[in-house]
Structure 1
């Protein structure tokens, strides 16, 4: 049973402090609703502040588009998925798939505010730590400051890749209250690196609570930050360390788990593949401790024979599904022919659930049916996906349902929170960094400055796991589709290796919020996304009306207009094109 740090822990810690702080001095009544400095600077108080900084990872209280999961910007903007549902429901998300985002968007402002709220909580922890009480040891100070700076680096990394130029505020400034106006004129990569370097040095190799960042999470994150800046050699050196020496919080070496799908199963959270994750826990007395990012992202109208019943968002795209087509050797069609009439997957688009339908019989990567739900294929342990009956509007969303972060029927009410309006508040963690991601980032570095043979090995480790792991099976125990997957024998050139590694990220990490950011940092976003729009819009014309990715503009979100207006146009500079 996992024992993660959760948001409810913050309230508990603060309540305990308020209850016992006075003890015999019953005449010293503290101000109602406030905590004294001594309460906040004790070990328990500092850990309470720190847990509050962790709690902001899923941006609860802001919007699904604001979370560190990034299913909206990372996956919908990246072509992994369509917004889903229908055209009228939460239509503020539709511009993320059409690249029609405006500076006045409330969703854009939610991302900005949520990340700066996380930064504010980190800074508060660090400020209070400077006056730490006598019960806070030197080791406590190193750990707490290391975790706070790790989290601050994460929030700034989110802002950097979302908005590019953003204000940098550390614990020495009071930002957002009008006391200090900070411009967005300086690049913040060096600040992010400084925080992660500090975290690497000061965090322990393992932690007592599984949700806390450790030394190896900081090392992997630093490598990722360097990779984003194309500092391949420096990133490679750190990835090498994680691969060779990284250990999980329970002392086990990082490794791929045996079955791909276990990364999205609440009962298998915090495995050897989890490097750093947003922790979720159900039935703690507060549904906020579960995973709120995904409550909309379940098949629609499922009744008692399907999960949650709401709301049909985050529908995997036609293009993504086609990408799992393989050739006679079980290898992906890297030339892009998977979207051709001969290779695209057969779907039930426009076919009633009561009408006959036979699923595609061609060869596909077995990760396909662990990555998305489709007509006629078992949907976890619920039933075979019935098709149209579980889709709110096929003409807007397409025929597929998300499956990666969906709970099993056998877990309903035990690993989902039954206290809220939907069972969609589940205990499934989201891995901000998982070991397969580390291997593929390391493979990129090997392609650019290392060994093509080593890159091949990393990619094949992931493909071998998909080959030897469990396949989706029918009730009779037979494979549910024509699953075929092979490994690469060699990479003919650096260009061929680069193409294979990038496509493997698309397959392995689909629906996990990475795709758009990958395309931007590779410099391929305009070509890939405009080709995607050209294909997907033929099948879903309503959802992609006017869609176009514009180079030099759409790589980044606009600086929220409300932030510019509140701080003054002389302080914040708008991004190009907006």
Structure 2
């Protein structure tokens, strides 16, 4: 049984379900079922279930509303618009797209809930293992490393989305539940780096075929390199470049010869994939409520053309139409055909679809709803078996090249890395300047969820994004419920009301 399939066979322990409702505080610890905390985590098998429950949060896209990271961040960037049937279809998406969020409107509830649930589960796992002397030593070491990676992963999203957040690295006592304070983002980054450094030294260099989806040493180093890069401190660029060079050179990752093959659902966990979140339709999930019970990916349903009829694709909901800006930027690039669906071409071949709000007749292709993999059981719209590739080799090549240029490091290697990414799609060399590297990131990684944070960290967001306000729009508002539940102990981000 593979790592991913185990998730369908177990009942997630109820003490790890806190934070899934927008009406509850993210620190809630009340048990909701039969497997109580005090009687659990006694054996390797029980601890493994706790680990799987922590990994499970990475898949979530239905916390406090639809908050699938890839399309949501594309809508916030200049790659896509929000779309949908009207501005009132998903107002939280439209507010993020236009940067007209407030404490109650925007995607913040789902993103806060998801990531603090992940932190909470990782903290429980680490605390319980620390007290358990009966676990197999090698098993305990690996699981602790994975839990630290996962806590770092969730906090990396939290600090990028919210800036100042509570930093919680232990199980909290009841008296501490509503007294948590936000900390400076630098302290969050310090904890993320600490967790990742401790994690990668204890992780395997590779994972078995039956364990695809578990974290490897290469993935942990890649995430740490990315964290150092995104911290935006030039003093950290040399270490970032070194870590990324190790990832790019020593773990067997390879660029796929055909760019389009990266996103083919038949190529899950390909040689180019470094950090990938698995999805499956095996769970046959059918609940339309905002409950994260299935293993499917709802993002393909969101971004498909509405009421589509024709070959290759299935009908979608018409969100995230690709902007004219991205179309113009990519129109002469070989990656266009694998990144963007041209609706006019589809219509010329006899297909039909309904134009929705902000329609441009261009749609995301990289994880579009392919008819061939549409679920045949459960609610098909919720069960797309299309994985999310969070980090892949072309990304780490470009991150290493950027770090080298910013650190004044080996410019020849930076040039080689940029050339490799371009040569894969038949493009000639361009100088490895920082602007050319940033342009290449947009071309190579378009609609994969990187663009918004790239614009923010490079201070280019205000020029590229309509409505973006410097000093405010870099972060989401804090959910109003968290401010209310803590009686103002948690405070709102600047510029929001």
TM, length-normalised to structure 2 = 0.87
Residues 138-162 of structure 1, C-alpha deviation per residue, up to 9 Å, x if partnerless? Answer: 1111100000110000000000000
Pair 32,90 (structure 1): closer, same or farther in 2 beyond 3 Å: closer
1:510 maps to which of 439, 446, 453? 446
Is it true that 1:109 corresponds to 2:77 in the alignment? no
Report deviation, 1:323.
Answer: 0.5
Pair 116,372 (structure 1): closer, same or farther in 2 beyond 3 Å: same
In structure 1, the partner of 2:226 is 224
Aligned partners of 1:464 and 1:426: how far apart in 2? 32
| SS in structure 1 of the partner of residue 247 of structure 2 | helix
Residues 314-357 of structure 1, C-alpha deviation per residue, up to 9 Å, x if partnerless? Answer: 111111111113xxxxxxxxxxxxxxxxxxxxxxxxxxxxxxxx
Contact 1:375 1:386 in 2 (8 A): no
In structure 1, the partner of 2:337 is 369
Residue-pair matches, total: 463
Aligned partners of 2:383 and 2:349: how far apart in 1? 21
Residues 342-399 of structure 1, C-alpha deviation per residue, up to 9 Å, x if partnerless? Answer: xxxxxxxxxxxxxxxxxxxxxx212111111113546xxxx96657x32432x62221
Pair 399,285 (structure 1): closer, same or farther in 2 beyond 3 Å: closer
| SS in structure 1 of the partner of residue 307 of structure 2 | coil
In structure 1, the partner of 2:26 is none
| SS in structure 2 of the partner of residue 457 of structure 1 | helix
Aligned partners of 1:430 and 1:384: how far apart in 2? 31
| SS in structure 2 of the partner of residue 390 of structure 1 | strand
Q: Which runs of 5+ in 1 are unaligned?
A: 15-30, 247-252, 326-363, 468-485, 492-496, 534-547
Contact 1:174 1:180 in 2 (8 A): no
Matches within 5 A, 1:399-478: 399-409=361-371, 411-412=372-373, 416-423=374-381, 425-449=383-407, 450-467=409-426
Is it true that 1:53 corresponds to 2:57 in the alignment? no
Task: Select the structure of larger CA radius of gyration.
Answer: 1
Greater shift, 446-455 or 47-56, is seen at 446-455
| SS in structure 2 of the partner of residue 82 of structure 1 | coil
Is it true that 1:521 corresponds to 2:483 in the alignment? no
Matches within 5 A, 1:256-295: 256-286=255-285, 288-295=294-301
In structure 2, the partner of 1:563 is 482
Report deviation, 1:130.
Answer: 2.1
Report deviation, 1:573.
Answer: 2.4
Aligned partners of 2:65 and 2:266: how far apart in 1? 24
Report deviation, 1:4.
Answer: 3.0
Contact 1:185 1:573 in 2 (8 A): no
Aligned partners of 1:115 and 1:513: how far apart in 2? 17
Q: Which runs of 5+ in 2 are unaligned?
A: 15-31, 287-293
| SS in structure 2 of the partner of residue 289 of structure 1 | coil
Report deviation, 1:45.
Answer: 0.7
In structure 1, the partner of 2:355 is 392
Is it true that 1:237 corresponds to 2:239 in the alignment? no
Pair 123,384 (structure 1): closer, same or farther in 2 beyond 3 Å: farther
Q: How large is the Cα RMSD of the aligned pairs?
A: 2.5
Aligned partners of 2:482 and 2:300: how far apart in 1? 27
Report deviation, 1:268.
Answer: 0.3
In structure 1, the partner of 2:495 is 577
TM, length-normalised to structure 1 = 0.75
Aligned partners of 1:427 and 1:521: how far apart in 2? 32
Pair 466,189 (structure 1): closer, same or farther in 2 beyond 3 Å: same
In structure 2, the partner of 1:185 is 183
Contact 2:321 2:362 in 1 (8 A): yes
| SS in structure 2 of the partner of residue 84 of structure 1 | coil
1:310 maps to which of 316, 325, 329? 316
Greater shift, 312-321 or 122-131, is seen at 122-131
In structure 1, the partner of 2:67 is 66
| SS in structure 1 of the partner of residue 438 of structure 2 | helix
